[in-house]
Amino acid sequence: MENVSGYSAIRWSVERGVGLLTLSRPEKRNALDLAMREEISDVVLRVRRDAGVKALVIAGAGGAFCAGGDLSALAAARMDAAAARQRIRDLHLWFPELVNLEKPVIAAVDGPAFGAGFMLALCADFVLASPRARFCAVFVRIGLVPDLGGFWLLPRVVGLQRAKELALTGRTVEAEEARRLGIVLELHPEEALLARAMEFAGRFRHASTAALGMAKSAMNQSYNLDQRTLAELEAYAQALAITSAAHGEAVRRFLDKQPLPFDWDRMAGGAEEA
């Protein structure tokens, strides 16, 4: 595992093509302060540029995913309205980069994911959680509105009516209900969660990163585009994919009756290639 030093609020490492970003302020339940936001931004750009990183896992240290914004730091800042507006606008310098990162992103949620921490989990393509995970759009409890993309993320994940219910009540969603609502894909015991997230992410090493990225990008835009525009995106993306080395190798293996490089079902049976 390659460890990268120089970060104070997160830990960053790469293992066999999978990047692991760990929020690491356990004494604050990994609340987002300015340093953590800047370091997440740096890692997202690092992953985007590094062809050797095929997928990203986001986790939290110390039995919490992320408690949201750091209210003590926020209170100490004593911002006026203009500064508060700029603070949120600065989030959106890196938030779209994470949401639209053209590589699979997996959140491993153990413990609370509250406020901006809830939205950070929803930035991922897949949320894996432990039974003690809890999700809460807590903003309304302190007289705030959802941020870190909450207006965009929540309705897309749970639907408009449920998004309003979660945002306007600020109630806590336990792990099993989160799975039923589509927030969580899989539940695993806390002691097995991170290993499962890394194994899940590791399978994408064998897929075409370009094909994954184009498919993810198109689907992220699918709510905002009409059918004709999406069909054009489909045509351009497939033209690139069908002429790629990855497709050529998969076809060669298929015709030679060899195992395909990327076969999720086969890998689920423990047959992942090195």
Nearest of 62, 61, 67 to residue 31 by alpha carbon: 67
Q: Which two tokens stand for residue 200?
A: 């899940």
Q: Do domains 2-204 and 206-268 have the same CATH topology?
A: no
The arithmetic mean of pLDDT across residues 139-164, rounded, is 96
Q: Is the pLDDT of residue 258 over 60?
A: yes
Q: Is the pLDDT of residue 2 over 70?
A: no
Q: Tell the residue number behind the tokens 């959802």, with chain if given.
A: 146
Paired sense of beta strands 134-136 and 172-174, if any: antiparallel
CATH topology of domain 2-204: 2-enoyl-CoA Hydratase; Chain A, domain 1 (3.90.226)
Residues sharing a CB contact under 8 Å with residue 48, sequence separation 6 or more, in sequence order? 97, 101, 102, 103
pLDDT-derived band at 95 (thresholds 50, 70, 90) equals very high
Evaluate whether 240 touches 214 at the Cβ level (below 8 Å). Answer: yes
Evaluate whether 113 touches 183 at the Cβ level (below 8 Å). Answer: no
Q: What is the pLDDT of residue 76?
A: 66
Alpha-carbon distance 109 to 188, whole Å?
A: 10
Alpha-carbon distance 180 to 81, whole Å?
A: 38
Stated pTM of the model: 0.93
Paired sense of beta strands 18-23 and 55-60, if any: parallel
The arithmetic mean of pLDDT across residues 121-128, rounded, is 98
CB-hemisphere CA count at 13 Å for 114? 20
Question: pLDDT tens digits, residue range 10-37?
Answer: 999 999 999 999 999 999 999 999 999 9
CA 64 to chain centre: 16
In single-letter form, the type of residue at position 119 comes to M
Alpha-carbon distance 7 to 200, whole Å?
A: 26
> How would CATH label the architecture of 206-268?
Orthogonal Bundle (1.10)
Q: Hey, CA dihedral for 96, 98, 101, 104, is it positive or negative?
A: negative
The distance in angstroms from the start CA to the end CA of the chain is 15
Q: What is the pLDDT of residue 269?
A: 65
The arithmetic mean of pLDDT across residues 45-64, rounded, is 97
Q: Which two tokens stand for residue 89?
A: 């606008």
pLDDT-derived band at 111 (thresholds 50, 70, 90) equals very high
Evaluate whether 69 touches 31 at the Cβ level (below 8 Å). Answer: yes
Could you state, in order of their start, the residue ranges of all structural domains in the chain? 2-204, 206-268
Q: What is the pLDDT of residue 156?
A: 96
Alpha-carbon distance 243 to 175, whole Å?
A: 43
Alpha-carbon distance 35 to 18, whole Å?
A: 23
The arithmetic mean of pLDDT across residues 253-266, rounded, is 95
